[in-house]
Chains A and B, each alone.
Chain A
Amino acid sequence: MNEHISLEASYNKLGKTGLTLAPGGSVRVASETLTNTGTTPLKIGTDTKSFGIAAKLGRNMGRFRPFVKLGLHRWNTDMTFASGLNASVSGDESGTDLFYGLGVEWAVSKAVGVQLEYESYDIGGPDVDVLGVALRYSF
Protein backbone atom coordinates (compact mmCIF):
# COMPACT_ATOMS: atom_id res chain seq x y z
CA MET A 1 0.00 0.00 0.00
CA ASN A 2 1.51 3.31 -1.10
CA GLU A 3 -1.44 5.66 -0.70
CA HIS A 4 -1.96 8.12 2.06
CA ILE A 5 -5.10 9.98 3.10
CA SER A 6 -5.10 13.11 5.18
CA LEU A 7 -7.48 15.75 6.44
CA GLU A 8 -6.24 19.31 6.09
CA ALA A 9 -7.47 22.64 7.43
CA SER A 10 -6.04 25.80 5.89
CA TYR A 11 -6.19 29.55 6.18
CA ASN A 12 -5.51 31.44 2.97
CA LYS A 13 -4.94 35.08 2.22
CA LEU A 14 -6.15 35.15 -1.35
CA GLY A 15 -4.76 38.58 -2.01
CA LYS A 16 -5.79 42.13 -2.73
CA THR A 17 -6.95 43.72 -5.93
CA GLY A 18 -7.65 47.27 -6.89
CA LEU A 19 -9.15 49.04 -9.85
CA THR A 20 -10.39 52.42 -10.92
CA LEU A 21 -13.87 52.41 -12.37
CA ALA A 22 -14.71 55.20 -14.80
CA PRO A 23 -18.05 57.03 -14.55
CA GLY A 24 -20.74 54.85 -16.12
CA GLY A 25 -18.64 51.71 -15.87
CA SER A 26 -19.64 48.63 -13.98
CA VAL A 27 -17.94 45.55 -12.60
CA ARG A 28 -18.98 42.38 -10.88
CA VAL A 29 -17.49 41.99 -7.41
CA ALA A 30 -18.08 38.49 -6.05
CA SER A 31 -21.80 38.01 -6.82
CA GLU A 32 -22.78 41.67 -6.99
CA THR A 33 -22.69 44.02 -9.98
CA LEU A 34 -21.59 47.55 -9.16
CA THR A 35 -22.09 50.56 -11.40
CA ASN A 36 -20.36 53.91 -10.97
CA THR A 37 -23.25 56.36 -11.35
CA GLY A 38 -21.15 59.32 -10.24
CA THR A 39 -19.22 61.81 -12.30
CA THR A 40 -15.78 60.98 -10.90
CA PRO A 41 -13.71 57.79 -11.10
CA LEU A 42 -14.41 55.27 -8.35
CA LYS A 43 -11.57 53.34 -6.76
CA ILE A 44 -12.47 49.82 -5.65
CA GLY A 45 -10.28 47.65 -3.47
CA THR A 46 -10.84 44.05 -2.42
CA ASP A 47 -9.12 41.84 0.14
CA THR A 48 -10.11 38.19 0.25
CA LYS A 49 -9.37 35.57 2.89
CA SER A 50 -10.61 32.03 3.28
CA PHE A 51 -10.65 29.17 5.73
CA GLY A 52 -10.97 25.69 4.28
CA ILE A 53 -11.00 22.04 5.13
CA ALA A 54 -10.12 19.36 2.61
CA ALA A 55 -9.54 15.67 2.14
CA LYS A 56 -6.18 14.94 0.53
CA LEU A 57 -5.26 11.75 -1.27
CA GLY A 58 -1.69 11.00 -2.31
CA ARG A 59 0.47 8.18 -3.53
CA ASN A 60 4.03 7.55 -2.41
CA MET A 61 6.40 7.08 -5.35
CA GLY A 62 9.83 7.06 -3.82
CA ARG A 63 10.63 10.58 -2.74
CA PHE A 64 7.85 12.04 -4.89
CA ARG A 65 4.24 12.12 -3.83
CA PRO A 66 1.58 13.30 -6.30
CA PHE A 67 -1.67 14.28 -4.61
CA VAL A 68 -5.14 15.67 -5.15
CA LYS A 69 -7.44 17.35 -2.67
CA LEU A 70 -11.03 18.50 -2.53
CA GLY A 71 -12.68 20.62 0.12
CA LEU A 72 -14.99 23.39 1.23
CA HIS A 73 -13.87 26.87 2.17
CA ARG A 74 -15.52 29.82 3.83
CA TRP A 75 -14.39 32.99 2.07
CA ASN A 76 -14.80 36.66 2.87
CA THR A 77 -14.09 39.63 0.63
CA ASP A 78 -13.69 43.05 2.21
CA MET A 79 -14.42 45.85 -0.24
CA THR A 80 -13.71 49.56 -0.10
CA PHE A 81 -15.02 52.18 -2.48
CA ALA A 82 -13.52 55.64 -2.69
CA SER A 83 -14.41 58.56 -4.91
CA GLY A 84 -12.23 61.48 -5.87
CA LEU A 85 -13.87 63.56 -3.17
CA ASN A 86 -12.21 61.61 -0.35
CA ALA A 87 -15.53 59.96 0.41
CA SER A 88 -15.31 56.21 0.95
CA VAL A 89 -17.54 53.37 2.01
CA SER A 90 -16.77 49.77 2.79
CA GLY A 91 -18.58 46.45 2.79
CA ASP A 92 -17.95 42.78 2.60
CA GLU A 93 -19.32 39.61 1.08
CA SER A 94 -18.82 36.01 2.10
CA GLY A 95 -19.82 32.52 1.13
CA THR A 96 -19.01 28.83 1.34
CA ASP A 97 -17.86 27.10 -1.81
CA LEU A 98 -15.73 24.27 -3.15
CA PHE A 99 -12.03 24.30 -3.82
CA TYR A 100 -9.66 21.71 -5.17
CA GLY A 101 -5.97 21.28 -5.69
CA LEU A 102 -3.41 18.99 -7.21
CA GLY A 103 0.32 18.86 -7.01
CA VAL A 104 3.41 16.91 -6.17
CA GLU A 105 5.52 16.82 -3.04
CA TRP A 106 9.20 16.06 -2.81
CA ALA A 107 10.22 14.47 0.46
CA VAL A 108 13.38 16.12 1.72
CA SER A 109 13.25 13.79 4.70
CA LYS A 110 10.64 11.81 6.55
CA ALA A 111 9.56 14.96 8.38
CA VAL A 112 10.02 17.69 5.76
CA GLY A 113 8.56 18.04 2.29
CA VAL A 114 8.41 20.71 -0.39
CA GLN A 115 5.38 20.78 -2.62
CA LEU A 116 4.38 22.46 -5.84
CA GLU A 117 0.66 22.90 -6.04
CA TYR A 118 -2.14 24.23 -8.20
CA GLU A 119 -5.35 25.23 -6.44
CA SER A 120 -8.64 26.62 -7.62
CA TYR A 121 -11.00 28.43 -5.25
CA ASP A 122 -14.61 29.09 -6.15
CA ILE A 123 -15.70 32.39 -4.59
CA GLY A 124 -19.36 32.74 -5.38
CA GLY A 125 -19.19 31.77 -9.03
CA PRO A 126 -15.83 32.92 -10.41
CA ASP A 127 -12.60 31.19 -9.43
CA VAL A 128 -9.24 32.26 -8.05
CA ASP A 129 -6.51 30.04 -9.49
CA VAL A 130 -3.29 29.70 -7.56
CA LEU A 131 0.11 28.26 -8.36
CA GLY A 132 2.32 28.06 -5.31
CA VAL A 133 4.98 26.32 -3.31
CA ALA A 134 4.67 25.14 0.27
CA LEU A 135 6.83 23.68 2.98
CA ARG A 136 5.43 20.82 5.07
CA TYR A 137 6.72 19.63 8.42
CA SER A 138 5.43 16.45 10.07
CA PHE A 139 5.66 15.98 13.81
Chain B
Amino acid sequence: MKKSTYVPLSLISMSLGVVLVSGAAMANDSMSGDTSFAGSMMKRGPYIGLGYGRSSADTGLKGIVNGNLDKKDKS
Protein backbone atom coordinates (compact mmCIF):
# COMPACT_ATOMS: atom_id res chain seq x y z
CA MET B 1 0.00 0.00 0.00
CA LYS B 2 1.35 3.43 -0.95
CA LYS B 3 2.16 5.80 1.85
CA SER B 4 0.57 9.14 1.15
CA THR B 5 1.84 12.54 2.19
CA TYR B 6 -1.52 14.13 1.45
CA VAL B 7 -3.78 15.39 4.18
CA PRO B 8 -7.55 14.90 4.29
CA LEU B 9 -9.63 17.86 3.30
CA SER B 10 -11.88 19.68 5.70
CA LEU B 11 -14.65 21.55 4.01
CA ILE B 12 -16.66 24.42 5.41
CA SER B 13 -19.55 26.01 3.59
CA MET B 14 -21.78 28.98 4.24
CA SER B 15 -24.91 29.50 2.23
CA LEU B 16 -27.59 32.10 1.77
CA GLY B 17 -30.72 31.13 -0.09
CA VAL B 18 -34.29 32.00 -0.78
CA VAL B 19 -37.19 29.59 -1.21
CA LEU B 20 -39.09 30.79 -4.23
CA VAL B 21 -41.83 28.17 -4.36
CA SER B 22 -42.93 25.94 -1.52
CA GLY B 23 -45.74 23.56 -0.83
CA ALA B 24 -45.78 24.90 2.71
CA ALA B 25 -47.11 28.26 1.57
CA MET B 26 -49.90 26.69 -0.40
CA ALA B 27 -50.77 24.32 2.43
CA ASN B 28 -50.82 27.13 4.98
CA ASP B 29 -53.04 29.18 2.72
CA SER B 30 -55.50 26.41 2.13
CA MET B 31 -55.53 24.63 5.47
CA SER B 32 -57.45 26.26 8.24
CA GLY B 33 -57.50 23.23 10.52
CA ASP B 34 -54.62 20.90 11.28
CA THR B 35 -51.39 22.57 10.18
CA SER B 36 -48.97 20.22 11.94
CA PHE B 37 -47.87 18.64 8.68
CA ALA B 38 -47.61 21.97 6.88
CA GLY B 39 -45.65 23.32 9.82
CA SER B 40 -42.81 20.90 9.18
CA MET B 41 -42.49 21.97 5.55
CA MET B 42 -40.02 24.59 4.43
CA LYS B 43 -41.69 27.95 4.07
CA ARG B 44 -41.07 30.55 1.40
CA GLY B 45 -38.46 33.17 2.16
CA PRO B 46 -34.75 33.54 2.93
CA TYR B 47 -32.58 31.10 4.84
CA ILE B 48 -28.97 30.74 5.90
CA GLY B 49 -26.90 27.61 6.25
CA LEU B 50 -23.63 26.50 7.75
CA GLY B 51 -22.06 23.20 6.81
CA TYR B 52 -19.04 21.06 7.49
CA GLY B 53 -17.84 18.20 5.36
CA ARG B 54 -15.01 15.78 4.84
CA SER B 55 -13.43 14.33 1.77
CA SER B 56 -11.01 11.47 1.80
CA ALA B 57 -7.40 12.23 1.01
CA ASP B 58 -7.60 10.19 -2.14
CA THR B 59 -10.71 12.00 -3.28
CA GLY B 60 -9.17 15.35 -2.53
CA LEU B 61 -6.07 14.22 -4.31
CA LYS B 62 -8.04 13.51 -7.46
CA GLY B 63 -9.76 16.84 -7.14
CA ILE B 64 -6.86 19.14 -6.58
CA VAL B 65 -3.68 17.28 -7.37
CA ASN B 66 -3.83 14.25 -9.59
CA GLY B 67 -1.68 12.23 -11.93
CA ASN B 68 1.68 10.51 -11.81
CA LEU B 69 1.26 9.30 -8.27
CA ASP B 70 3.85 6.60 -8.74
CA LYS B 71 6.52 9.27 -9.00
CA LYS B 72 5.65 11.17 -5.88
CA ASP B 73 7.80 11.08 -2.81
CA LYS B 74 6.86 8.19 -0.53
CA SER B 75 8.69 9.49 2.50
A binding-site residues for B, Cβ under 8 Å: 1-22, 24-30, 33, 41, 44, 46, 48, 56, 58, 60, 62-63, 65, 77, 105, 107, 109-110, 113, 115, 117, 119, 121, 123, 126-139
Contacts and interface: CB of A to CB of B under 8 A. Distances in A.
B9 to A, nearest CB: 3
A10 B15 contact: yes
B9 A14 contact: yes
**Interface SS of A by simple majority:** strand
Interface of B: 5-24, 26, 37, 39-43, 45-55, 57, 59-68, 71-73, 75
Contacts of B13: 10-13, 132, 134
Contacts of B71: 21-22, 24-26
